[in-house]
Amino acid sequence: MRTCCLARERVVWFLLHRLSLPLVSAPGGVVRSKGCRMSADEALDALKEVQDFFEDEKERLSNGVYLRMCDALQKVYSHIKDENKEEEDDEEGGDEESDSEPERERTEDDMELNELSDFWEDQFDFGRPRAVLPLEGLIETITMDIEEKRVCAAVRVLNRALHRSKPDDPADAERILQWKEALVEEGAIKECAEILKGDREFCGDDDSNHWMHYSILCSEILELFTRLGENDALFRTKLRRNGALKGVEEYVKGQPLGAGLPVLKMLRQQ
């Protein structure tokens, strides 16, 4: 816990330093910045440096802390982009006539990762029969989609559903058993393993979003393998047969002290 607090403290200092914001002390020892406005391009450049810092510090952070930091970076990035877009719209709006066309409705393409995963989670509704988004839809996204953001959102929805399930509830246990079989039969486990190995090609992201989405996606996949394989020796065997072990081994080679080690140990258990 102390390590996590120190890591967050270092990140706060680093972020404020790179954004060139004057620092002041607030009650309780919290560090805050005094007002200073940057351009959107300057802020995005600084954010990229913070991303590089996170990547360097990744091995010192637990998987949960690293994932929360990536989510926080995604929110900052989205906020900067939205603010910049609003300013551009305001400038253009002054030259438009009052009878201009109404704004179009937002679509999934307009949503960032956190919003999209929340939206799909409501539609999935824990895989109930009348859910708008069935399990097959999530699996198709994991195996076929070319956007990291969408694949990551689909894996996250599954993780949340597994987390909220009750193993002692017969209905939940039966549903999760069906999910496990479907993930294997439809190739989702194999695709997740390919992603961890870096063999899956994606498109549609700029460099900043690619780094964040890929890092978060790998963390979500590691969590998914853990939730599926814990306390289930039979399914761990199925995970290994479908490439999960090899995928995690390749991932750990690049992150030898990261969150993949506990998952690797779990998958090696007979």
Is the distance from CB of 202 to CB of 147 less than 8 angstroms? yes
Q: What is the pLDDT of residue 128?
A: 76
- CATH of residue 122: 1.25.10
- Of 1-15, 73-87, 192-206, least confident by mean pLDDT is 1-15
- Indicate whether 57 and 164 sit together in one domain: no
pLDDT digits 0-9 by tens, 78-131? 666 666 666 655 555 555 544 555 677 888 888 999 999 999 999 998 877 778
pLDDT digits 0-9 by tens, 231-252? 899 999 999 999 999 999 999 9
Q: Is the pTM of this model over 0.85?
A: no
Angstrom distance (rounded) from CA 23 to CA 33: 5
In a domain, 255, yes or no: yes
Q: How many domains does the chain have?
A: 2
pLDDT at 7 > cutoff 60: no
Angstrom distance (rounded) from CA 64 to CA 259: 9
Name the strand (E) or helix (H) holding 32: strand 31-33
Residue 265's identity, in one-letter code, is K
Between residues 72 and 165, the one the model is more confident about: 165
In a domain, 97, yes or no: no
Q: How confident is the model at residue 257 (pLDDT cuts 50, 70, 90)?
A: confident
Q: How far is CA 161 from CA 186, 250, 260, in A?
A: 19, 27, 22
In a domain, 113, yes or no: yes
- Of 4-8, 43-47, 152-156, 167-171, least confident by mean pLDDT is 4-8
Between residues 111 and 56, the one the model is more confident about: 111
Q: How confident is the model at residue 137 (pLDDT cuts 50, 70, 90)?
A: very high
Domain end position, chosen among 67, 82, 97: 82
- Indicate whether 73 and 130 sit together in one domain: no
- Indicate whether 251 and 155 sit together in one domain: yes
Between residues 259 and 183, the one the model is more confident about: 183
- Indicate whether 76 and 117 sit together in one domain: no
- Indicate whether 120 and 194 sit together in one domain: yes
Q: What is the extent of the structural domain holding 63?
A: 2-82
- Indicate whether 72 and 128 sit together in one domain: no
In a domain, 134, yes or no: yes
Is the distance from CB of 196 to CB of 243 less than 8 angstroms? no
Of the chain, the percentage scoring pLDDT greater than 70 comes to 62
Q: What is the pLDDT of residue 253?
A: 92
